[in-house]
Structure 1
Amino acid sequence: MRYFMLLVLLASSAILVDCRREVSIDCGFSGDDAYYDDRTSKIYAPDAEYIDTGANHEIDESYVTGQPVQAQNLRSFPDGVRNCYTINDVTQGDKYLIRASFLYGCYDGGQQMRHGRSLTFDLYFGVNFWQTMNITVASHLYISEIITLASSDYFSICLVKSGDGIPFISALELRQLDSELYKDVNQSVSLRLSERKSMGLDQTIRFPDDIYDRIWQPGYTSRAASYSRDVRRNSTVLTTTAELGSDDAYKVPSAIMQSAAVSSDNNTLILSLSNGDDVVMAPMFYVYLHFAELRAPKGNEKSIFQLRVPGSRPRLINISLEYLVARHIQLIDQANSDPSTFYLNLTRVPGSLPPLLNAMEAYSYVDLTKISTDQGDVDAMMMIKRLLYHTEWQGDPCVPVQFAWNETKCSFPISTPPRVTSLDLFNRGLKGDIPAAIGNLSAITYLNLSRNTFTGPIPPFLANLNSLQTLDLSGNQLDGSLIDVLCNRQANGSLRLRYLSQFSVHLPIP
């Protein structure tokens, strides 16, 4: 349920929780004010300040019951190939969880899913591919989550047309994480969530039980008195009310660590690592296992068992647990091509207690090695975009190349960021002073500002664009004389310049 905030302090989706930044966006929400959602205990805001394209829709009323309020509306993107949300004011080098949610709900009368069709589109994290969304069930809430480092002071999350159907999104959430969590995440590697399970509970756990608002799905179904398909052999549940030690680097919620799956045959616990049709181990898998021994030892009893790890290098790991002390095992491996091997096998050591597992997380590798455009060029182009009200310009100006902005061209040096080298703003109806942001495009070689209504003197920063080879200022209302540096460069042949003509000749881009 939405509760609208009247206090300015609360009416914001970008807040600090225990000094950690978080943003909660209700995509497609048509209201003007942020609201408090009592289901998630979070404040959500409309998405208008984060994106300038798309259309708001409400899902069909027959799909509303039981759905989160954020899933009852959405923003779709019928126009353009790439449409991007921009979340500002993040801290470069810090670690974040980003979660995107999607519920189709036949918002368009079901036109896109007629005759059993699925709806597919791609998610991009900045310039790097995140995941293909394959929407096959209109009533299902699809969630994609990534853990990543901030490489700049903002995040760009893009929806890209790649298959049948119009991209859409229901909600977007950002949660800042502490640096000691998920140390596999770095500037070139992010982790995409496949599964996060609480093995001994039959209910979903998230904030406020989890201070990072990680969503833990139940691994146990009490109604059927059995585990979900993730546990491939009969198991039982063990719980305790005893408090665990506070020294838990992963800060797994206490309710989760106070419950566990235990092998019912007193010998073996097998956990599948496949998530439906999505095999989590391809091509590289990251698994985090969370343990705590909940059985008080009797006499010389010990809690020791072996963990068989699948993948390209199958191996055994001995695990020893202490009573009420959390332990976390991190696994990284290349996937084996045989899906039948995609499971973890926990086997009792003779003379020890049967194996148990409190919780698990499985992730796949997201490659972040594509290099974004030079940040100075990006900042300059974003300022120019705002002046132009050019909504077709979305995401990075140069990368990926198939989504590069119109009216621009870029160079792609090896191992260094791409640079904007050409900007053609011919006859765009621009007025006033020539934008100062253009002076920050230090690698530009071609600049066409002709047939606009720019006024005032020729700005000195144009003389500082040392790479500039072609400059067309004709057809404007500029006054004053040409800058000496530009005249000298024209005279020695290093600059092709048009200025005095009132009727522009459109110079070809070299």
Structure 2
Amino acid sequence: MVRRADLGGSTSLAVLRYPQDKYDRWWTKETLNGTIEISSNSTIEADPDETPAIVMQTAATTSSTQQPLNLYWNVDDKSSTYYWIFHFYEIQASPTGQREFDLLINGAMGSKKIIFQTWYRITLQRSGFINYNVSLVATSNSTLPPLLNGYELYKIAPVGVPTYSEDVAAINTIKKDHQIKKGWSGDPCLPKEFIWSGVSCTSNSSNISWIIGLNLSYSGLIGPLSYNFGNLTALVSLDLSGNDLSGSLPSSLDQLTALKYLDIRGNNKMSTNLPFGLQKRQKNGSLTYRFGDLPIPSPSPSPSSKKNIIITAVVVPLLFIAVVVATIYWLRQKRKFCFFANFFPFLD
């Protein structure tokens, strides 16, 4: 991580972190030269990365469409690869205006004709330079100047085997299709200490990692299952239990020739019929398929029953001790009585 910046606004916080960001990501307040800082108190629609609303409620812009919005960085190693995430959210909408701009890095096109109404995100990576200049330049169709709410800049270091590009594309599309809110960002399998939540990976001598396991149980998934699950071609295990999915399992799942475990329990609106290829594999025993209702968990003891358990656990040992003490006392008294009876028989 090189920098994570919150642009615009007049917040008194130099750094935003938890509780504003529930993942405790640190956002540094930054002011860009030649820009105008704006803010809004409007409700911000949540994005899949759960970027803090307070970050998206502020932005930097310029005074006119003729003035680009520029960011500059000097780096220490031009052989390293740098990865940007640019965050956009329209907080200055105009009923008659249109905001459209291009994003250029060192004069070369990075992303063309950027238009957004709510949240929008662009990711780019570049290498080979000591100095980087990112420019947001309004197009000829734009009546509003460019706008940027925040950005993240990472230096990519060789800390493991990168994820297969087709897997990255597939899981990012799945994330978007189902609005998955797990804080997924960057490479799904790198670094190993920070593999995406619910994701399992493997790699081999070809220096490529594949996603082989995906646990999305109880992840709030709704609607039809994304066709893009079928593009995770190395997937061995897929757990979708405890969601609210509907419709049929897509035929694209037949592409998952390595799949050995599929769990859709608890998705009561979903058809349990397998695509033809998976049906054959279930019949020959190479696929374990779980569907239907989830088992009902054993009820937890109520507060009153817990209280009774505690009382019983305390009282029973105390009663036992009292009985033992009483028995010893009785035996000692009996022995004492026998002694006096032997020496003083007239006491009988």
TM-score (norm 1): 0.36
Partner of 2:154: 175
Offset of residue 83 of structure 1: 2.7
- Of residues 157, 161, 176 in structure 1, which corresponds to 2:138? 161
Retained in 1: the 8 A contact 2:170–2:232? no
- Of residues 68, 72, 77 in structure 1, which corresponds to 2:62? 77
Return the letter of the residue paired with 2:36.
Answer: A
Q: 1:35 to 1:244 in 2, by over 3 A?
A: closer
**Where do residues 137-216 of structure 1 align in structure 2 (5 Å cutoff)?**
137=117, 140-146=118-124, 148-162=125-139, 163-164=141-142, 165-179=144-158, 180-181=161-162, 195-198=172-175, 203-206=180-183
Q: Secondary structure at the match of 2:280?
A: coil
Q: 1:130 to 1:100 in 2, by over 3 A?
A: same
Higher helix share: 2
Retained in 2: the 8 A contact 1:91–1:150? no
| Residue 35 (str. 1) matches residue 16 (str. 2) | yes
Return the alpha-carbon distance in structure 2 between the equivalents of residues 205 and 158 of structure 1.
31
Return the alpha-carbon distance in structure 2 between the equivalents of residues 192 and 86 of structure 1.
29
| Residue 87 (str. 1) matches residue 30 (str. 2) | no
Retained in 2: the 8 A contact 1:23–1:173? yes
Return the alpha-carbon distance in structure 1 between the equivalents of residues 278 and 44 of structure 2.
50
Indicate the percent of aligned positions where both proteins have the same amino acid.
9
Gapped runs of 5+ residues in structure 2? 47-51, 192-197, 218-224, 240-250, 262-274, 289-348
Q: Secondary structure at the match of 1:63?
A: coil
Retained in 1: the 8 A contact 2:201–2:210? no
Return the letter of the residue paired with 1:94.
Answer: S
TM-score (norm 2): 0.51
Return the alpha-carbon distance in structure 2 between the equivalents of residues 161 and 199 of structure 1.
27
Q: 1:199 to 1:56 in 2, by over 3 A?
A: closer
Partner of 2:83: 97
Who wins on radius of gyration, i.e. which is larger?
A: 2
**Where do residues 3-402 of structure 1 align in structure 2 (5 Å cutoff)?**
21-30=1-10, 31=12, 33-37=14-18, 38-48=21-31, 51-59=32-40, 61-64=41-44, 68-79=53-64, 80-89=66-75, 91-106=77-92, 110=93, 113-115=94-96, 117-131=97-111, 132-135=113-116, 137=117, 140-146=118-124, 148-162=125-139, 163-164=141-142, 165-179=144-158, 180-181=161-162, 195-198=172-175, 203-206=180-183, 244=200, 247=203, 250=209, 257-259=214-216, 271=227, 289=232, 291-294=234-237, 320-321=257-258, 323=260, 348=277, 351-353=280-282
Return the alpha-carbon distance in structure 2 between the equivalents of residues 194 and 258 of structure 1.
12
Retained in 2: the 8 A contact 1:90–1:155? no
Gapped runs of 5+ residues in structure 1? 1-20, 185-190, 214-240, 261-268, 274-286, 297-305, 309-316, 325-345, 357-510
Retained in 2: the 8 A contact 1:35–1:43? yes
Aligned residues: 230
Q: 1:353 to 1:53 in 2, by over 3 A?
A: farther
